[in-house]
Amino acid sequence: MICLSETTMKLKELESCLQQVDVFDEPKILLEQYPTSPHIAGCMLYTIHNTFDDIKGKLVADLGCGCGVLSIGAAVLDAGLCVGFEIDEDAIDVFKGNVEEFELPNLDVVQCDVCSLETLSLAKKFDTVIMNPPFGTKHNQGIDMTFLKTAISMAKTAVYSLHKTSTREHIQKKANDWNVKMEVIAELRYDLPASYKFHKKKSVDIQVDFIRFSIK
């Protein structure tokens, strides 16, 4: 599969490329496996790359990488190396299939529980951390903050993440406690498809913040 080189790629071309990424066949509710849409992933990565220059040639981590849409986008945009971290073996199988399909040499994936990563050994090992963490609903309350704290410990420069807009004030307090600068880059509408049988609507819109955390 051929995607354009990062030097010539426009946002629509990046989105088109990411539409070719395979996603979950049977998403797991316990892991909050909502795929990041090609549109949102493209907007995130295009901004990280073009506005902040935090992808090209950088060592990038993708926490809770799922099937790899953010990782693959970062690799297409010429990350030095992007490493995905994912707990679910089925998602990793899809991730590996995507890597083979896209023929990208600058990608790797590690099976692990992000919530229990040995962060001391990974402290400041990555230039940039990108993620679309579980929002921490129902049984997973607080998991979004666990992901964020881990990401901040791993990053040398910046963390880019999606969080429910309704949690912005809480996240700002945590950012202050952790001595990192928080900047809301964009407010997005995250369209959750009716992936699970209990969803009565075809899709549900959730307001989310695309946030950059600068490591001081």
**141 falls in which pLDDT band (50, 70, 90)?**
confident
- What pLDDT digit, counting tens, does each position of 106-134 carry? 999 999 999 888 777 899 999 999 999 98
Residues whose CB falls within 8 Å of the CB of residue 29, separated by 6 or more in sequence, listed in order: 196
pTM: 0.89
Spatial separation of the C-alpha atoms in residues 191 and 177, rounded to whole Å = 31
**172 falls in which pLDDT band (50, 70, 90)?**
very high
Checking if the pLDDT of 56 tops 50, the result is yes
Task: For residue 35, give the DSSP letter.
Answer: P
Kindly list the distances between the CA atom of residue 152 and the CA atoms of 54, 76, 123, 189, 211, in Å, as whole numbers in the listed order.
15, 24, 9, 25, 13
Spatial separation of the C-alpha atoms in residues 49 and 147, rounded to whole Å = 22
